[in-house]
Amino acid sequence: MATYTPPIRDMQFVMHELLGVTDALKAMPPHAEIDTDTLNAVLEEGGKFAAEVTFPLNASGDEQGCTLDKSTHEVTAPKGFKEAYAQYVEGGWPALSCDPAYGGQGLPIVLNQCLYEMLNSANQAWTMYPGLTHGAYEALHTHGTDEQKRTYLPKLTSGHWTGTMCLTEPHCGTDLGLLRSKAEPRPDGSYKITGSKIFISSGEHDLAENIVHLVLARLPDAPQGSKGISLFVVPKFLVQPDGSLGARNPVYCTGLEHKMGIHGNATAQISLDGAAGTLVGEPHKGLAAMFVMMNAARLGVGMQSLGLTEVAYQNAVAYAKDRIQMRSLSGPKAPDKPADPIIVHPDVRKMLLTARAYAEGGRALSLHCALLIDRELSHPDEAVRKDAADQVALLTPIVKAFLTDNAWLATSHCLQVYGGHGYIREWGMEQYVRDARINMIYEGTNTIQSLDLLGRKVLADNGAKLKKFGQLIVDFVEEEGVVEAMQEFVNPLADLGDKVTKLTSELGMKAFGNADEVGGAAVDYLRIVGHLVFAYFFARSAKIALEKQGSGDPFYTAKLATARFYFAKLLPETAGLIRTARSGVQPLLAMDEALF
């Protein structure tokens, strides 16, 4: 019973009014000729595909799940998934932002991110098949040999082959230094890979003719720990010199995980029994190569949660406008009916506006980050590329963790709007809650992202990357601080910026004396900085809305109201988070383990 309408208008606002994407692309030679009409046309068509092709398969795919034939190790995706994927390939969507040298369309990443938000709203489980493929493409495009690029990239670009990343093993999760899979050199220069992997999303399916696994394993002379990991490309079917498919490689699905959500995606247990593979990048430096795919996946997971936040919000609003229950405390709002629509009740509005604000803030942040990636990849000025790369490094853990935490809150709120009906499968809302929960766990748990932000991205360079983003806030505050209508946005933004600076210095000093202080404060810290980033984009959005509210377009009225709600009801969360971050690690470590 769920519905979905692609949020094209807000995407256009973020791209054209907030970020000035078209003008920004003019400075990048590969994208200099792209105009606003082209971007809008692709958005419209991508939205149609998501809403009309993959969205109708979301509920049925969740109910059916994937099926493993243990005798053949083959997996069948839910009914309709294969046909939808064929339409996706036929429409050229996998190639949207890929390199033209390998058959790609060469369009900007920022446009591809919009497509993926809509696909994730429509059907996250289905979208994970092409999503992981794009990550495998990125890793091989960056670190593959010329032969590997010729062999794999055209097929990954077209979507005729899909990709995975095979990291996790039964005895190790995030701590990849513990992995045991082995890679033995063979006389022909390839390697024989042996080991077991678990939790491999899209690990086996019937959507494409071949699956390209990127596998982490150890060479015989590998040192212990993460410095002894190498990366290998291991296809399901071996590829002949002429590009045709040859023998079946002994890399098999031995089981499917029975999961809380994303039932339509095959989360596979994979066994490699002497499978043939080739080395990607340098020996023992596989993590560096795999991190290209992992970082792409982390941004992708943020987009998954953004998509779920949006579609949950849309359906909760529709329900709240239709469902009548009780009267408004200030008097009947629908006197012709036996009760008022529940959207009149303040707390229902709070839940709806929370989801809306987290969707709009997440969209602004994720598309800003995507535009930075375009600069990093395509801008002719090396200094601009370096600055963009620094900002992407800072923002990636925030996109992954803050957006996924927010989606868990937002989808839960939206389920609450439905009351008891939200807990019932036929309404569709409980699936969004279940699907959203995994996004906080995989591709590095949100605690890992928080440690990465505070430890590696902030303290490791004495806050240099954070100061770059902070300068954007300082410049905006100086420019808008004298504008009376902007005070309600500028003042709390400036105040939080100052507090983050002080908190960062304080935590750095504590960590110098006890590294565990980073672990005690990191999760709170990421959420504080996430709010700082959101506040910056909401303040900028409010500036535009104030300037255009006289146009009569209700879009700007709603944008301004959402910004005001965010600053009044959501941003104040940072006060408590700052206090708990400052409380230190001692309350967490004081209790003896035996007392737990």
Active-site residues: which are they? 443
d(CA 549, CA 547): 6
Phi, psi of 380 (to 5 degrees): -75, -20
Quote the strand ranges of 77-141, DSSP E: none
User: Helix, strand or coil for residue 254?
Assistant: strand
Q: Tell me the DSSP string of 497-549.
A: HHHHHHHHHHHHHHHHH-THHHHHHHHHHHHHHHHHHHHHHHHHHHHHHHHHG
Please say whether the beta carbons of 213 and 233 come within 8 A: yes
Give the CA angle between residues 286, 289, 290 to the nearest 5°.
80
Q: What b/e readout covers 37-46, taking b as 16+ CB neighbours within 10 angstroms?
A: eebeebbeeb
Q: What distances in angstroms separate CA 254 from CA 71, 165, 212, 299, 544, one per listed residue?
A: 10, 17, 17, 29, 54
Please say whether the beta carbons of 380 and 443 come within 8 A: no
Nearest to 373 by CA among 9, 104, 28, 119: 28
Sequence-distant (≥ 6) Cβ neighbours of residue 415 within 8 angstroms: 312, 422, 423, 429, 430, 432, 433
**What DSSP state is assigned to residue 572?**
T
Sequence-distant (≥ 6) Cβ neighbours of residue 8 within 8 angstroms: 40, 43, 44, 47
Please say whether the beta carbons of 152 and 132 come within 8 A: no
Please say whether the beta carbons of 122 and 311 come within 8 A: yes
Q: Is the four-CA dihedral 232, 237, 240, 243 of positive or negative sign?
A: negative
Between the two ends of the chain, the Cα-to-Cα distance in Å is 45
**Beta-carbon count within 10 A of 483 CB:** 12
Element containing residue 185 per DSSP (H, E): strand 182-185
Please say whether the beta carbons of 229 and 176 come within 8 A: yes
**What DSSP state is assigned to residue 476?**
H
**What DSSP state is assigned to residue 15?**
I
Looking at the DSSP bridge assignments, the partners of residue 183 are 193
